[in-house]
Amino acid sequence: SGILYFNSNIFIKDIPIFAKVFDLTGKQLMSNELIDRKIDLSKFDNGIYILELFQGNQITRNKIIIKKL
């Protein structure tokens, strides 16, 4: 469906989480606040992306691979 859900204990429950998605050249493709701890990546083409999540002073970076069938 293209929806990515976050069910991690890393994040504090009542503090907003912000997400940024970058391509491998470093171009920012999206920046949103996560609503209900989920992000919609359905509009992205197949490929490898970098997902940054921000909450307060904490930043996590993850490589995500989108492969649609």
The C-alpha atoms of residue 10 and residue 42 are separated, in whole angstroms, by 25
Give per-residue pLDDT as tens, 12-62.
777 888 999 999 999 999 999 988 888 999 999 999 999 999 988 889 999
- In this structure, the chain runs to a length of 69
* Per-residue pLDDT at 48: 97
Token couple for 21: 């998605």
pTM for the complete prediction? 0.85
Taking the CA atoms of 17, 58, 22 and 41 in sequence, report the sign of the dihedral they define. Answer: negative
Interior/surface letters 22-37, b for 16+ CB within 10 angstroms, e for the rest: beeeeeeeeeeebeee
